[in-house]
């Protein structure tokens, strides 16, 4: 196991660090003065780095599978059969399903394998150790393979998409200069790929991180990459504003994250996820990590008798199990329950910002100002999903109250995003809102206790959403940077590959399947998993029935607006004949990745919850999730266990499929067939349309609530600065100037006079010395004799006479 | 008859068993010369390029001297007089021979890159170059007055021819003629001094001179004593011959004219190599007075003060005369005069400390640092001066001019060459952290120690300090032209290949920085050389 851990950490470290190397090389190659801006070398190098990363990740995945004897794929089978056996024996029939699952999870399932360790110690301040750790389980591996694969596809796509930057003089038609012309600048092909490489490095570092502080470092690093990439066309006002907005809104979430970090550090004294092994001399010292302290080996939260304090398990017994220390022990650690909630909410605050959850969702649609490959990689598949990933990674630290918050936030986000997407007409904006909505789904899934379901949806969504973004990129490139769907239409014949791959993506996100068979698109499986969990949850906690109904409705809406996008763009008559004539299918380096991603989008989740992907993910499920939580005793919500969820599957699945078909049908009637004129609906529900088109008024609200007041305060501060502090400074400066004027006179008159006099005199002496060098050889030879005699006479004169 | 036979037998033994073995580097160079001339004669070998033969010979000689030096430091070889005491084989000599061979390699490489001489003349040119180096190596190891003269002449005669090598150019021929005539005059004076000295002492062997002189100089004799007067005159005349090679004021007149007329490569070679040989010889000649009585030491002490005054005058004269120059080679010629002045200060301090009446452990330490400073300076000087001349040669090949004003705005066209030039110039000025700074620092420090012995050294030190400022003005002019002035329209474009040329320039310019940043690495070796020369340990 030791050697497998080393092997995995080495492979993943290579995959992680290669893009950094690529970034450094590309940046330096870029600043070389003779760099050829027309060369695609930077792109090829970036592709090599991330592609090699994919190879390493795949090998790591394979090694891990071999090393654990593919236990992940067998384990769940095994577990299920055991559940069945237990039910047959009827030994625990009285205690209900939850208890069966408990047994199965704790005794029959092979222990999940986590490899953790330290790459490098950054610094140690007292007890505070900051280090670069790794934490490798099946989730890490799945994320690595997913990120590197999608990133490779997108990099290849981008070599075609960004090809117009391969010029010495790029004309940005969207930036107007004062004289009415367009802005000219050198092409930035190199720069794009160097940023992309940096992003890949940061994202992989985030996934590999073994402690929450390291996560934070890379969290910020992906943030800055996102900032750089959104603002790639920095001369465009909209792009630079969007970049600022994204960054600032994320800071709000990160504020919560930092609060969470502070609480964790003060209460736990460590940032590490897993237990830390330290060899001190001959003694092998083990310190408990965050997860161990809170959950121990069985996932149970130890609370004091009044329920106000959580007791932390930081003492290891001889069997290797962790216990709470005795009350008299000075090493005993506790944390108040409220504080644990605040810490969880704080960290989740970071996730809200990064994953564009309500109420911080406003930055993501604006982020579409970046080049489309960026939207595909950063703002749909990877970075925004990092919030969900962190929520999943940090799951053991969340108490039921926090999970409830997560569920509601996700639920609201899913609904809000989906409704706005109905009225959006910019093809990328529709996708952006759909991303927000789907991220809401994932959060909801995690919040209602479906750890596997949420992350399952993360992976499937990454596949089909990056596919759709790349398709939209292909459409945009084909339509010469026209993004408004109102000007498209009838593109199916012009760009068949793009249209058909897009259709695969649309069907996947809508969650279509053939009823009665197991043939379904990936989105169906993952959405079904979430809805099933939500249904099981509402059965346990009937008061939260909205957590099932709203997502179900949203599933219908999703299907509606996604098909609306497809019908609008690819079917019907061309709305802009001039544009239509110039449309062309994209080159192979753009369509190739589309085809590959289409296969993934359709089939990555084959088998659903019995499929390999889901089993692999749930292999890393935190202990205690499987059996659920009965919250009745503690007056909190209850969480469904695996069995309860399993029972809800057929209902939830049928409902979701029905919703999806209804959404698709309406969409077909309105936009495909034209039975109902959308303009009529728009007119009749004008106020609703305006409300939605105004994005529920969030931007206006924030403008009034935060931006305007901030401006007022800023103006006030600026005025104080200008009229009070600057005046004082100016007075000093004026005094200084007066003094230096006098000083200058002295300097110029006296000091310079002396220096110049000396300089001039030495210079003229030097010039006059030239005259000695006459160039006449007769004179030179005479000088030899004269000099010898003179020197001798001098010596004679000065030498002691004796 | 028997005795003569025995003598011959001993001579043969000494020559074949020790001397020839230690003389191999010189023999290799001689063999290389013969090989090049052979190639010229045999039509079959016409196609063999002379520069590669020369380079091969130089490399072999360098490697050999390097081994010898290594063995000397390691203690496998021991310092010994060779060829019946005509030459000295010790660390000091070997270090200079190594230094000269290294410089020979660099010069040949430069000529290959800059394309002077052409194919037709190459064997002649490299014959002269190797011959001159051979002479300088003999100068560095001379242990006898005869070899002093032979070495100087052997180094000079090929140099005359090399200066006039640009056959078609009037200036070149004129320079060569001036060099020959001036050299002949100086050699005449030197030979006169040598014969006087040999006549007085009855020996030509340098280590014995001090002892022999103390036999004829009576205690307390002043200049009114005819013997002392003759000794002073004779030493002065020998020094004149060396002063000619070092272009010390007032025997420097040939230098600007010759450097302007000669090709930059040749000028670079002469400015470094012939100075290195001459300094080695000067140190040996100065130390010849040691081992004598107090009266002899007094003469040497007076000579040391005299050298110090000449050094101060040389540095000042060189720097001031450089002000008005418009030709870069002429300016660099005056700059070499000034640098000879600085290095001469180290020799002056050495003689003053060595022959002062209040000798002791401390004065030995100071003499050590004098030699160390001199060697350090020469080593830095090799790179910075060759670098400057090399860049002048490389630029000349493109713009066909050596006028400073034609260098305007070059930095935009050939940043690497200009960067190299800037490094060399900063080092020549002596700005930290360049090698030139530390070399000057070591020399000035030893001159400062010498001020405790005689007040005149204060004057030398002051001259050294003020000259550092003088130097700033004219060197900066080159940089100003290259970096601050715009390139005039229609000026010839300068382009160069990064691979051989750029690499070569970096290879000779970066050490000026390296020697400044890591002085300790080299100081140890230099200190070792100095201590073996002075104390035999």
Q: By the CB < 8 Å criterion, does A758 face chain B?
A: no
Task: Say which residue, B312 or A64, is predicted with more confidence.
Answer: B312
Q: Which residues of A touch B230 (CB under 8 A)?
A: none
Distance from CA of A795 to the nearest CA of B (A): 8
Least confident of A6-20, B177-191, B216-230: B216-230
Task: Say which residue, A21 or B529, is predicted with more confidence.
Answer: A21
- Please report the beta strands in B353-435, taking only residues with DSSP state E, as ranges in sequence order: none
Instruction: Please judge whether A801 and B222 are an interchain contact, meaning their C-beta atoms are less than 8 angstroms apart.
Output: yes
Q: Which residues of B touch A770 (CB under 8 A)?
A: 321, 324-325
Q: Containing H/E element for B171?
A: helix B170-201
| Tokens 């080299």 sit on residue | B522
Above 50 in pLDDT, residue A80? no
Distance from CA of B200 to the nearest CA of A (A): 18
Q: Domain spans of chain A?
A: 474-693
Residue-wise pLDDT tens digits, A525-572: 888 889 999 999 888 888 888 899 999 999 999 999 999 999 888 887
Distance from CA of B442 to the nearest CA of A (A): 27
Q: Which residues of B touch A784 (CB under 8 A)?
A: 182, 185-186, 189, 240, 251
pLDDT attached to residue A95: 38
Instruction: Please judge whether B222 and A775 are an interchain contact, meaning their C-beta atoms are less than 8 angstroms apart.
Output: no
> CB–CB of A40/A589 below 8 Å?
no
Task: Tell me which chain A residue has its CA closest to the CA of residue B474.
Answer: A763
Q: Containing H/E element for A50?
A: helix A41-67
Per-residue confidence band for A802, with pLDDT thresholds at 50, 70 and 90: low
Q: To probe the interface with B, which of A759, A773, A801 has the most B CB atoms within 10 Å?
A: A773
Instruction: Please judge whether B470 and A762 are an interchain contact, meaning their C-beta atoms are less than 8 angstroms apart.
Output: yes
Token couple for B491: 């000026």
Instruction: Please judge whether B320 and A769 are an interchain contact, meaning their C-beta atoms are less than 8 angstroms apart.
Output: yes
Sign of CA dihedral B264, B266, B270, B272: positive
The partner residue sitting opposite B223, judged by closest CB among A772, A775, A802, is: A802
Least confident of A405-409, A514-518, A734-738: A514-518
Helices B328-354, B254-261: crossing angle, 10 deg rounding: 140
Average pLDDT, chain A: 84
Q: By the CB < 8 Å criterion, does A771 face chain B?
A: no
- Provide the 3-class DSSP secondary structure of residue A473: helix
pLDDT attached to residue A673: 79
- Provide the 3-class DSSP secondary structure of residue B81: strand
Instruction: Please judge whether B185 and A762 are an interchain contact, meaning their C-beta atoms are less than 8 angstroms apart.
Output: no
> What's phi and psi for A274, nearest 5 deg?
-100, 170
Cα within 13 Å of Cα(B486), Cβ side: 3
Q: Which residues of A touch B240 (CB under 8 A)?
A: 784, 787-788
Residue-wise pLDDT tens digits, B7-39: 888 888 888 888 888 899 999 999 999 998 888
Q: To probe the interface with A, which of B183, B222, B253, B414 has the most A CB atoms within 10 Å?
A: B253
Per-residue confidence band for A41, with pLDDT thresholds at 50, 70 and 90: confident
> CB–CB of A541/A449 below 8 Å?
no
Q: By the CB < 8 Å criterion, does B254 face chain A?
A: yes
Instruction: Please judge whether B240 and A762 are an interchain contact, meaning their C-beta atoms are less than 8 angstroms apart.
Output: no
DSSP A650-685: HHHHHHHHHHHHHHHHHHIIIIII-SS-HHHHHHHT
Residue-wise pLDDT tens digits, A340-361: 999 999 999 999 999 999 888 8
Q: By the CB < 8 Å criterion, does B105 face chain A?
A: no
In Å, how far are A101, A109, A333, B521, B527 from A624, measured between CA atoms?
Answer: 10, 12, 22, 66, 75
Instruction: Please judge whether B253 and A791 are an interchain contact, meaning their C-beta atoms are less than 8 angstroms apart.
Output: no
Longest dimension (CA), chain A: 132
> CB–CB of A485/A427 below 8 Å?
yes
> CB–CB of A530/A539 below 8 Å?
no
> CB–CB of A299/A622 below 8 Å?
yes
Instruction: Please judge whether B317 and A769 are an interchain contact, meaning their C-beta atoms are less than 8 angstroms apart.
Output: yes
Instruction: Please judge whether A784 and B322 are an interchain contact, meaning their C-beta atoms are less than 8 angstroms apart.
Output: no
Buried b / exposed e over A553-567, threshold 16 CB at 10 Å, is: bbbbbbbbbbbbbbb
Distance from CA of B363 to the nearest CA of A (A): 23
Distance from CA of B234 to the nearest CA of A (A): 10
Task: Tell me which chain B residue has its CA closest to the CA of residue A800.
Answer: B222
Task: Say which residue, A475 or B360, is predicted with more confidence.
Answer: A475
CA distance A205 to A53: 12
ipTM entry: 0.84
R_g of chain B computed on alpha carbons: 23
Q: By the CB < 8 Å criterion, does A766 face chain B?
A: yes
Residue-wise pLDDT tens digits, A192-201: 899 999 999 9
Q: Which residues of B touch A798 (CB under 8 A)?
A: 302
Task: Tell me which chain B residue has its CA closest to the CA of residue A790.
Answer: B250
Instruction: Please judge whether A767 and B324 are an interchain contact, meaning their C-beta atoms are less than 8 angstroms apart.
Output: yes
Cα within 13 Å of Cα(A13), Cβ side: 16
Instruction: Please judge whether B321 and A775 are an interchain contact, meaning their C-beta atoms are less than 8 angstroms apart.
Output: no
CA distance B279 to B263: 24
Tell me how many residue pairs between chain A and chain B have CB atoms under 8 A apart: 87
Instruction: Please judge whether A773 and B253 are an interchain contact, meaning their C-beta atoms are less than 8 angstroms apart.
Output: yes
pLDDT attached to residue A116: 86
Average pLDDT, chain B: 88
> What's phi and psi for A426, nearest 5 deg?
-80, 125
Residue-wise pLDDT tens digits, A573-592: 888 788 888 888 888 888 89
> CB–CB of B139/B150 below 8 Å?
no
Residue-wise pLDDT tens digits, A109-139: 445 578 888 888 877 777 778 888 899 888 9
CA distance A472 to A491: 12
User: Length of chain A, please?
Assistant: 802
Q: Which residues of A touch B319 (CB under 8 A)?
A: 766
CA distance A4 to A66: 10
Q: Which residues of B touch A802 (CB under 8 A)?
A: 220-225, 228
Summarize the confidence of residues B326-337 as an average pLDDT.
91
Q: By the CB < 8 Å criterion, does A801 face chain B?
A: yes
Instruction: Please judge whether A791 and B236 are an interchain contact, meaning their C-beta atoms are less than 8 angstroms apart.
Output: yes
Q: Which residues of B touch A777 (CB under 8 A)?
A: 177-178, 181-182
CA angle (A290 as vertex; A287, A295 as ends), nearest 5 = 105
Q: By the CB < 8 Å criterion, does B260 face chain A?
A: no
pLDDT attached to residue A505: 92
Instruction: Please judge whether B320 and A762 are an interchain contact, meaning their C-beta atoms are less than 8 angstroms apart.
Output: yes
Q: Is B225 exposed, middle or buried (0-12, 13-18, 19+ CB in 10 A)?
A: middle
pLDDT attached to residue A112: 58
Task: Tell me which chain B residue has its CA closest to the CA of residue A797.
Answer: B223
Per-residue confidence band for B65, with pLDDT thresholds at 50, 70 and 90: very high
CA distance A500 to A292: 49
Q: By the CB < 8 Å criterion, does A746 face chain B?
A: no
Q: Please give the share of chain A, as a percent, with pLDDT higher than 90.
A: 28
Q: Which residues of B touch A758 (CB under 8 A)?
A: none
Per-residue confidence band for A32, with pLDDT thresholds at 50, 70 and 90: low
């Amino acid at each position: 196991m030791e050697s497998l851990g080393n092997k995995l950490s080495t492979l993943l470290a290579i995959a992680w660090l290669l893009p950094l190397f690529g970034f450094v090389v590309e940046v330096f190659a870029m600043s070389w003065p003779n760099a050829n801006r027309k060369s695609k070398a930077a792109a090829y190098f970036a592709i090599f780095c991330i592609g090699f990363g994919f190879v390493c990740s795949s090998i790591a995945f394979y090694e891990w599978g071999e090393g654990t004897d593919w236990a992940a794929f067998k384990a769940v089978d095994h577990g299920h059969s055991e559940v069945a056996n237990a039910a047959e024996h009827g030994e625990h029939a009285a205690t209900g399903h939850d208890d069966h699952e408990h047994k199965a999870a704790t005794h029959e399932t092979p222990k999940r394998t986590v490899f953790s360790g330290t790459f490098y110690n950054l610094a140690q301040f007292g007890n505070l150790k900051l280090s670069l750790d790794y934490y490798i389980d099946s989730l890490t591996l799945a994320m690595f393979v997913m990120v590197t694969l999608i990133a490779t596809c997108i990099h290849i796509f981008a070599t075609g998409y960004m090809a117009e930057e391969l010029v010495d003089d790029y004309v940005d038609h969207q930036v107007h200069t004062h004289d009415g012309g367009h802005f000219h600048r050198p092409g930035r092909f190199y720069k794009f790929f160097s940023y992309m490489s940096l992003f890949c490095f940061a994202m992989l570092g985030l996934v590999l991180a073994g402690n929450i502080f390291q996560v934070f470092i890379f969290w910020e690093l992906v943030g800055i990459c996102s900032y750089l990439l959104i603002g790639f066309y920095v001369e465009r006002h909209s792009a630079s504003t969007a970049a600022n907005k994204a960054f600032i809104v994320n800071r709000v979430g990160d504020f919560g994250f930092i609060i969470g970090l502070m609480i964790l550090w003060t209460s736990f004294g460590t940032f590490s996820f897993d237990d830390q092994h330290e060899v001190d001399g001959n003694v092998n010292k083990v310190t408990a990590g965050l997860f161990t302290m809170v959950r121990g080996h069985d996932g149970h939260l130890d609370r004091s008798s009044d329920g106000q304090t959580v007791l932390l398990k930081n003492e290891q017994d001889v069997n290797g199990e962790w216990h709470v220390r005795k009350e008299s022990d000075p090493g005993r650690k506790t944390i108040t329950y409220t504080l644990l909630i605040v810490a969880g909410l704080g960290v989740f605050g970071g996730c809200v910002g990064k994953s564009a959850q309500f109420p911080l969702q406003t930055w993501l649609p604006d982020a579409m100002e970046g080049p489309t490959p960026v939207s595909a990689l950063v703002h749909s598949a990877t970075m925004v999903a990092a919030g969900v990933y962190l929520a999943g990674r940090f799951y053991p630290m969340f108490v039921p109250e926090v999970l409830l918050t997560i569920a509601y936030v996700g639920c609201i986000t899913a609904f809000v995003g989906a409704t706005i997407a109905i009225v959006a007409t910019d093809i990328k904006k529709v996708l952006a809102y759909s991303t927000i909505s789907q991220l809401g789904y994932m959060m909801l899934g995690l919040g209602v206790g479906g750890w596997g379901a949420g992350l399952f949806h993360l992976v499937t969504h990454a596949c089909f959403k990056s596919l759709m973004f790349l398709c939209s990129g292909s459409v945009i490139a084909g339509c010469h940077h026209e993004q408004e769907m109102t000007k498209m239409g009838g593109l199916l014949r012009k760009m068949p590959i793009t249209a058909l791959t897009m259709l695969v993506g649309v069907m996947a996100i809508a969650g279509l399947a053939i009823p009665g068979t197991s043939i379904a698109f990936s989105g169906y499986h993952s959405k079904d998993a979430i809805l099933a969990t939500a249904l099981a949850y509402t059965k346990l906690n009937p008061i939260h029935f909205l957590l099932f109904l709203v997502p179900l409705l949203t599933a219908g809406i999703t299907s509606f607006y996604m098909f609306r996008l497809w019908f609008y763009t690819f079917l019907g008559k061309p709305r802009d004949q001039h544009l239509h004539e110039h449309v062309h299918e994209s080159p192979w380096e753009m369509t190739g990745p589309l085809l590959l991603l289409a296969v993934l989008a359709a089939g990555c989740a084959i088998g659903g919850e019995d499929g390999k992907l889901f089993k692999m993910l749930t292999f890393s499920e935190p202990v205690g999730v499987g059996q659920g939580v009965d919250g009745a005793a503690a007056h909190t919500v209850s969480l469904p266990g695996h069995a309860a969820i399993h029972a809800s599957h057929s209902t939830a699945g049928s409902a979701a499929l029905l919703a999806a078909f209804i959404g698709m049908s309406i969409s077909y009637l309105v936009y495909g067939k034209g039975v109902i004129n959308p303009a009529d609906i728009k007119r009749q529900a004008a106020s609703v349309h305006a409300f939605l088109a105004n994005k529920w008024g969030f931007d206006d609200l924030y403008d009034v609530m935060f931006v305007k007041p901030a401006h007022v305060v800023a103006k006030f501060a600026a005025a104080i600065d200008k009229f009070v502090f600057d005046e004082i400074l100016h007075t000093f400066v004026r005094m200084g100037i007066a003094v230096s004027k006098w000083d200058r006179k002295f300097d110029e008159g006296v000091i310079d006079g002396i220096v110049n006099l000396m300089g001039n005199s030495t210079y003229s002496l030097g010039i006059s010395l030239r005259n000695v060098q006459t160039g006449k050889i007769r004179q030179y030879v005479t000088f030899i004799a004269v000099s010898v005699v003179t020197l001798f006479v001098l010596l004679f004169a000065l030498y002691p006479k004796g | 008859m028997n005795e003569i036979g025995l003598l011959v037998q001993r001579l043969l033994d000494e020559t074949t068993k020790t001397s020839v073995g230690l003389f191999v580097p010189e023999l290799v160079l001689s063999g290389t010369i013969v090989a090049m001339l052979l190639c010229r004669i045999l039509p079959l070998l016409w196609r063999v390029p002379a520069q590669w033969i020369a380079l091969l010979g130089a490399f072999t000689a360098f490697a050999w001297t390097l081994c010898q030096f290594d063995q000397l430091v390691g203690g496998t070889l021991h310092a010994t007089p060779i060829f019946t005491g005509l030459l000295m084989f010790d660390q000091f000599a070997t270090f200079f021979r190594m230094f000269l061979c290294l410089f020979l390699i660099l010069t040949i490489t430069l000529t290959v890159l800059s394309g002077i001489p052409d194919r037709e003349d190459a064997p002649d040119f490299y014959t002269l170059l190797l011959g001159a180096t051979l002479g300088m190596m003999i100068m560095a190891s001379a242990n006898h007055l005869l070899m002093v003269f032979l070495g100087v002449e052997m180094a000079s005669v090929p140099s005359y021819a090399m200066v006039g090598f640009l056959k078609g150019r009037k200036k070149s021929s004129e320079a060569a003629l001036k060099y020959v005539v001036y050299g002949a005059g100086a050699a005449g004076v030197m030979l006169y001094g040598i014969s006087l000295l040999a006549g007085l002492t009855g020996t030509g062997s340098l280590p014995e001179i001090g002892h022999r002189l103390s036999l004829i100089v009576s205690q307390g004799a002043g200049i009114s004593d005819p013997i002392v007067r003759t000794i002073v005159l004779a030493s002065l005349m020998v020094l004149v011959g060396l002063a000619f090679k070092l272009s010390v004021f007032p025997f420097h007149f040939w230098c600007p004219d010759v450097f302007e007329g000669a090709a930059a490569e040749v000028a670079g070679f002469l400015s470094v190599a012939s100075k290195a040989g001459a300094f080695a010889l000067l140190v040996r000649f100065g130390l010849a007075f040691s081992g004598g009585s107090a009266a002899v030491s007094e003469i040497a002490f007076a000579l040391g003060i005299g050298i110090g005054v000449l050094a101060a005058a040389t540095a000042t004269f060189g720097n001031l005369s450089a002000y008005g120059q418009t030709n870069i080679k002429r300016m660099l010629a005056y700059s070499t005069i000034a640098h000879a002045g600085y290095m001469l200060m180290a020799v002056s301090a050495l003689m003053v400390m060595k022959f002062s009446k209040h000798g002791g452990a401390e004065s030995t330490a100071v003499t050590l640092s004098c030699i160390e400073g001199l060697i350090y300076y020469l080593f830095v000087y090799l790179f910075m001066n060759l670098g400057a001349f090399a860049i002048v040669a490389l630029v000349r090949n493109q713009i066909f001019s050596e006028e400073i004003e034609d260098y305007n705005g070059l930095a935009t066209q050939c940043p690497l060459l200009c960067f190299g030039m800037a490094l060399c110039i900063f080092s020549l000025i002596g700005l930290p952290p360049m090698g030139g700074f530390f070399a000057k620092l070591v020399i000035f420090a030893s001159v400062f120690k010498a001020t405790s012995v005689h007040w005149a050294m204060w004057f030398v030190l002051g001259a050294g300090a003020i000259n550092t400022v003088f130097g700033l003005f004219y060197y900066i002019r080159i940089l100003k032209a290259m970096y601050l002035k715009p390139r005039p329209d229609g000026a010839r474009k300068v382009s160069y290949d990064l691979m051989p040329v750029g690499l070569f320039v970096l290879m000779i310019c970066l050490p000026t920085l390296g020697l400044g940043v890591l002085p300790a690495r080299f100081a140890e070796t230099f200190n070792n050389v100095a201590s073996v020369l002075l104390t035999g340990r």
